[in-house]
Structure 1
Amino acid sequence: MNLRFWLLISTLFVFLSSCQNEETDLIDTPIILNDNVEIYDEEKISMDYVLAIENGSKNAYLLNKQGNKIKEWSFEDNLGNDLEILPDGRLLGMFKVDNPIFSFGGYGGIVKILNNEGEVEWEFEYASENYIAHHDVEMLPNGNVIFLVWEKIDMETLEGLGIQSDVEIYPESLIEVNPTTNQIVWEWHSIDHMIQDVSPSASNYGNISQNPQLINFNYLIEDNGDNWHANGIDVDTDKDVIYISVNYYNEVWVIDHSTTTLEAMSNNGGNYNKGGNLIYRFGNPSTYNNSFGEQLFNRNHFPNLIEGNKPGSGNILIYENGVDESQSTIYELEIPESFSLLPETNNEPQIVWSFTNENLFFSRLSGAVRLNNGNTLICEGDYGFWETTTENGIAWKYNGQGINFWRCYGYEIDSPEILNLNL
């Protein structure tokens, strides 16, 4: 009787242990929640909200990790790409003007600040036959707004500058506006910082490899004049510098924002005493005929500085589209504490971390941001969103079901941005 009793107890113990192991395995295995959320690993996920920005549409929404839309916005005008939630709960975005005189993919023309319901509080139109705002916009700590601009350079000016082009070109500029006064308070123009080695009679003639701080405007000539197609900016307020993603040059430029507008036109002044020249650049040394260092980018989007107490603070994230290889990669790069840009030197930053996957690829759009728990939130423009761990595991995947997304941003549930939305 005792033997049968203990055999029964042993069998029951094995059965319960097996059930417990099965339950543990289920918890450890990422699950599919619905048609949108294809991977959901509750133990590894960062339970924040995701701002999903539909590319060029009138729609944006806030998602939770279960894939539910907890707030939606519909706008009167189509987005000209970027949209962010400000700490006070308002929105800052780039929107498209009607019937622009000229445009390329990612054009905008109107910058707006909206209340948390999407109603316009301020707008600034920057579009004419000679210039148009495009792609990206940022708010500075002083409340000013800075954004990318294409400006048209006519054929006569090009000839005098030694630029080899059969069409007018549209180089990159930055404009900073005070929303209180609508006054332009600072500007930077890449045309002021060029070099070329084909026309000795022009004032900007020089040795390209010996002047990495200058931009070789003849490096690439596109048939439509959009030779650079910058697509993203980020501001390091501590160093007072601006990162510009220059897509067609496969690199990132860094310029000094501490200059005056006059200094930004020159090669001296500002905290770095370089004026508006590049104080750093990375991603493609061949743009300045540098044989040292390897090209890292093959089209790139969104230079995103990791800030605050987030793991990797001070480093920068880049979405490398990988057009030629049909394979996208997210890089985390260590930005030098002191910027150094020297000729005949490897000026490229160190790779700290990277992520790729055989299913990760889009030739346009896209980006990545670091979350507070160390995970990285990725926007794959034609798919949706990934959340990856520091060990390159996949904690979350959201399928947008055919929607193209510009970017996504992660917001902690108790962050000022979310609390001031009054959800």
Structure 2
Amino acid sequence: MRITQTGLLTCDPSKASPGLTLFAPLEAHNAYLLNMAGDTVHEWALGEPVGGNVYLLENGNLLTAERSPEGPIGVNGKGGFIREYDWDGGVVSEYIDHAQHHDMRRLDNGNLLYIGWEEMDPDKATRVQGGIAGTEHNDGSILSDYLKEVTPKGDVVWEWHMQDMEIENYPLHLEVPRAEFAHMNSCFPLPNGDVLVSLRRNSMVAVIHRETKKFNWQMSDLTWGMQHDAQMLDNGNFLFFANGLSTATFPHSRVIELDPKPKEIVWQYKGSPPFSFFSPHISGAQRLANGNTLICEGVWGRFFEVTPEGEIVWEYISPHEFTYFNNDKLNWVFRCYRYTEDSRQINNRVSA
């Protein structure tokens, strides 16, 4: 897909789910709120470049993962500064962990759950299976993921470490570097306190039991192609963006709704033809109130809403670009979210 137009491309008011769409371009210092016509109706100025997830809390404040110049180098999804902004852009709170990456969530108890990197113990690193031989970091090390829950005062009250799992049971995808085990890119708190996670380089979605710190549900499927944004829907099913990297002669992405009990796909969206919809990394999806699904095709900065039958009823492409290291102009977006006017997040401050 070649970007030939930006802004609003499609809107069918009779079928689209009305609301405000939030997004924050990667590497930008801004977050934007769009109405259904594709107009920016509110924005926030951020202190550092966007590095990962950005979303609205129920009080209408903005929670961001912003890129720190410190911490691990040569990694993607880097955050480090987790900041909360009020509606007018004032900083309400800040938590710093220079190893934080990709995702973070404000819990109902006010605590913060987030993903971070740590260097694996050398003996554990030798047990990592799969990946491309010789692609560890220059010093031979491998980074692994951890989860931490911290209080508003910064006290760690719960943590989990990927390197404490049975490492041999979770091989990396054969076509990825061995520098990271396992590149967690989402952490979704479940009502019972467990955490649903996406492990990209294992093409695996799993549930971490809060007490035992073991996986009490897991599923891996190479056809997902190193997925993103695993979440639980109100009906108990799991929704995620299957990137589809290295999975076919013509790679293509899908959005999958999975019933976790029989481990069966109950709904999916893919392009027509399939290769017309493909984002090899980042990206996400959100199930909307009317049953439609909002999709962020991240590497194209494309947000579009589809009906259960797959009809596109709203579509927008971000005009905000940044310059990559080889001078390419990119408009990548990690995720986007839709909020109704009367939601707690928007509270009728602006109109859709």
Alignment of 1:294-305 (within 5 A): 295-305=222-232
SS of structure 1 residue aligned to 2:346: helix
Q: Which runs of 5+ in 2 are unaligned?
A: 320-329
- Asked if 2 retains the 8 angstrom alpha-carbon contact of 1:194 and 1:217, the reply is no
Letter in 1 for 2:231: N
Candidates 6, 14, 18, aligned match of 1:43:
14
Q: Deviations over 1:222-264 (max 9, x none)?
A: 6552132111111112x3221111111111121012x2xxxxx
Structure-2 change in CA distance of 1:70 and 1:350 (3 Å): same
Deviation at 1:99, TM superposition (A): 3.5
Q: Distance in 1 between matches of 2:175 and 2:7?
A: 41
SS of structure 1 residue aligned to 2:181: coil
Candidates 191, 204, 208, aligned match of 1:255:
208
SS of structure 1 residue aligned to 2:164: helix
> What is the percentage of aligned positions where both structures have the same residue?
30
SS of structure 1 residue aligned to 2:289: coil
Q: Please give the root-mean-square deviation of Cα atoms over the aligned residues, in Å.
A: 2.2
Q: 1:144 maps to which residue?
A: 111
Q: 1:281 maps to which residue?
A: 218
Candidates 85, 96, 119, aligned match of 1:125:
96
SS of structure 2 residue aligned to 1:418: coil
Structure-2 change in CA distance of 1:109 and 1:221 (3 Å): farther
Q: Distance in 1 between matches of 2:292 and 2:307?
A: 5
Q: 1:328 maps to which residue?
A: 253
Q: 1:414 maps to which residue?
A: 342
As a proportion of its length, which structure holds more strand? 2
Alignment of 1:176-191 (within 5 A): 176-179=149-152, 181-191=153-163
Q: Which runs of 5+ in 1 are unaligned?
A: 1-33, 197-214, 260-274, 285-294, 308-312, 337-347
Deviation at 1:158, TM superposition (A): 3.7
Q: 1:382 maps to which residue?
A: 299
- Asked if 1 retains the 8 angstrom alpha-carbon contact of 2:341 and 2:350, the reply is no
- Asked if 2 retains the 8 angstrom alpha-carbon contact of 1:89 and 1:420, the reply is no
Q: Distance in 1 between matches of 2:304 and 2:350?
A: 27
Q: 1:353 maps to which residue?
A: 267
Letter in 1 for 2:114: F
Deviation at 1:321, TM superposition (A): 0.8
Q: Distance in 1 between matches of 2:6 and 2:111?
A: 41
Letter in 1 for 2:216: I
Q: 1:170 maps to which residue?
A: 143
Pair 1:246-2:218 in alignment: no
Deviation at 1:316, TM superposition (A): 1.7
Count of aligned residue pairs for this structure pair: 322
Letter in 2 for 1:297: W
TM-score between both structures, scaled by the size of structure 2: 0.85
Candidates 59, 63, 67, aligned match of 2:30:
59
Deviation at 1:296, TM superposition (A): 4.1
Q: 1:363 maps to which residue?
A: 280
Q: 1:135 maps to which residue?
A: 102
Larger radius of gyration: 1
- Asked if 1 retains the 8 angstrom alpha-carbon contact of 2:280 and 2:299, the reply is no
Structure-2 change in CA distance of 1:35 and 1:192 (3 Å): closer
As a proportion of its length, which structure holds more helix? 1
Structure-2 change in CA distance of 1:421 and 1:172 (3 Å): farther
Deviation at 1:422, TM superposition (A): 7.0
Q: Distance in 1 between matches of 2:115 and 2:95?
A: 13
Structure-2 change in CA distance of 1:221 and 1:186 (3 Å): farther
Greater mean alpha carbon deviation, residues 218-227 or residues 166-175: 218-227
Q: Distance in 2 between matches of 1:188 and 1:155?
A: 19
Q: Distance in 2 between matches of 1:36 and 1:163?
A: 44
Q: Distance in 1 between matches of 2:51 and 2:309?
A: 35
